[in-house]
Amino acid sequence: MRNVKVTTGIVSILIGLILVSIPLYQEWKTGKEIEKLTQAVNLISNEASAQTMDEEFAYAKDVIWLEIPDIDLNQMILPETTEDNLSLGLTQIKPNQVPGEGNFTVAGHRGYRGDRFFRNLPEVPIGSKVNLIVGDQTYTYEIMTSQIIEPTQTDILLDEEGKNEITLITCTVDGKQRVALKGLLLT
């Protein structure tokens, strides 16, 4: 009987360790993929500028970075929202967006731990400055609103005529609603 209890205890501990290690492994793996992607973009950008932007490197000049100083965020925005891209970082919600024109929309997961993705997005205060950086051009927006919305409230993504703004979206902690920040382009 004692051997059964000891064996059951050891098996329970091993199962617990495995269950705890799975998300940690996934986070480590995602971090490595993000690191490789960032290094590749930086390498291509450096080579591209050194070779006066050959066509094979032309897309590197269009990489968009999002900087939110209040939460120490500086991340690349991938050009398309897919599950794979969302697992790597921030993504453009609408295709073919141009910074400084219309409503530039960005989505990101909250992430498990640390400051990757949009984990700290709800902590961005109204009045904060947010920068979109493309090459040597910076577009600065001021955050005007922060609200919790339903996933079906897609009207927040629409362009408003004569308004240049940014919309940043992530999930609430329980994943049932969305946190949406909107900012206006400063001129």
Q: Where do we find the tokens 């308004």? A: 163
In this predicted structure, what is the pLDDT of residue 50?
44
pLDDT band at 60 (very low <50, low <70, confident <90, very high): very low
Residue 143 pairs in a beta bridge with 183
pLDDT over 90 for what percent of the chain? 43
Domains of the chain (ranges; CATH) run 1-60 (no CATH), 63-185 (2.40.260.10)
**Rounded distance between C-alpha atoms, residue 126 and residue 124, angstroms:** 7
Question: Which of 71, 77, 72, 41 shows the shortest CA–CA distance to 59?
Answer: 41
Between 112 and 136, the more confident residue is 136
Contact 30, 88 (CB under 8 A): yes
Note the pLDDT tens digit of each residue in 143-167. Answer: 999 999 999 999 999 999 999 999 9
pLDDT (mean) for 35-60: 49
- State the maximum Cα–Cα separation within the chain, in Å, rounded to a whole number: 77
**Rounded distance between C-alpha atoms, residue 160 and residue 92, angstroms:** 18
Whether 80 has a pLDDT exceeding 60, the answer reads yes
In this predicted structure, what is the pLDDT of residue 26?
64
Whether 51 has a pLDDT exceeding 60, the answer reads no
For the record, the structure tokens of 33 come out as 């993929």
Whether 36 has a pLDDT exceeding 70, the answer reads no
Rounded CA Rg of the chain: 20
**Rounded distance between C-alpha atoms, residue 62 and residue 135, angstroms:** 7
In this predicted structure, what is the pLDDT of residue 59?
43
pLDDT (mean) for 80-102: 85
Note the pLDDT tens digit of each residue in 2-29. Answer: 788 888 888 888 887 777 777 666 666 6
Note the pLDDT tens digit of each residue in 169-186. Answer: 999 888 899 999 999 999
Angle at 61 between CA 57 and CA 62, to 5 degrees: 115
In this predicted structure, what is the pLDDT of residue 54?
44
**Rounded distance between C-alpha atoms, residue 38 and residue 129, angstroms:** 24
Q: Give how far the C-alpha of residue 88 lies from the chain's centroid of Cα atoms, to the nearest Å.
A: 8
**Rounded distance between C-alpha atoms, residue 89 and residue 117, angstroms:** 6
Question: Which of 61, 60, 141 shows the shortest CA–CA distance to 104?
Answer: 141
Whether 135 has a pLDDT exceeding 90, the answer reads no
